[in-house]
Amino acid sequence: MIRPYGDTTGDGRVQVSFTLPVPFGSETERAVAEGAALQLAGKMGLDPAMVVHAKAVGSQFTFFIVYGRVAHLVDLAAVQITEREFPELAAAEVNMRIRASLGRKLVVVGATIGTDAHTVGIDAILNVKGHAGEKGLEYYREIRVVNMGSQVSVPDLVARAAAEHADAVLVSQVVTQRDAHITNTREMAEGFSAAFGSARPLLIVGGPRFDPGMTGDLGVDRIFGRGTTPRDVASYLAHVLAPGTPADEADETQEVA
């Protein structure tokens, strides 16, 4: 059982930030705005609380940082995590498994969908330059990558996946306002189910605001969150689509990826 740490161990001090739809112009408006922030902090369980920063955001909104103490305890034994159910593989082993199991290249189609124009995430996983010191899926010689880019409609994604005979579809979603990432993902899952039925490609989504435990609710096979690397995705693809390695190749440790 632990408490938050601020100034001294176990003092329960926390810092939170939020925006309220109140102006921060005149002296009276500032007093009302800070009073509203403290009222909210009190209802959140911060006692005592103080406004340590307040700044106007336009003419009718104010951004606050509030510092205060909470009485809540955190039970580490009650924390639930989603552990990786597959081993992390080197590029050579991923290639070997795909070649041995499929006898052809594994086809991956990737995109960001809806109005999401952010391609940094999908490019980090797909492009050969990769991310965090790891090369992307284009580097794996047994994987053929089709990167459709940003703002791709679900019908276009479904059609391209069918045309390329995709084994897996990777979708990145960064824009989360009004749960756009949830809506887009469900639309994608429904589109692929309608077009392919049970023979649909593996559906994988990633983004900083996804809950990895929502795969069933969203109708996808895997969700990757913050910190995902190309090797994580490649290892998962090999685990699901190309499981196992023939015994006569098990000792092959030197291979150019």
Query: Active-site residues: which are they?
Result: 129
Q: Which two tokens stand for residue 56?
A: 């106007």
Do the beta carbons of residue 239 and residue 106 sit within 8 Å? no
Q: Which two tokens stand for residue 49?
A: 């609380």
For the chain, the straight-line distance linking the first and the last C-alpha, in angstroms and rounded, comes to: 47
Give the distance, in angstroms, between the CA of residue 111 and the centroid of all CA atoms in the same chain: 14
Q: Which two tokens stand for residue 31?
A: 């007093």
Do the beta carbons of residue 12 and residue 6 sit within 8 Å? yes
Q: Three-state SS for 11?
A: coil
How far apart CA 153 and CA 10 sit, in angstroms, is: 50
How far apart CA 206 and CA 92 sit, in angstroms, is: 24
Q: Three-state SS for 205?
A: strand
Please name the amino acid found at residue 78. Answer: A
How far apart CA 94 and CA 88 sit, in angstroms, is: 9
How far apart CA 107 and CA 109 sit, in angstroms, is: 7
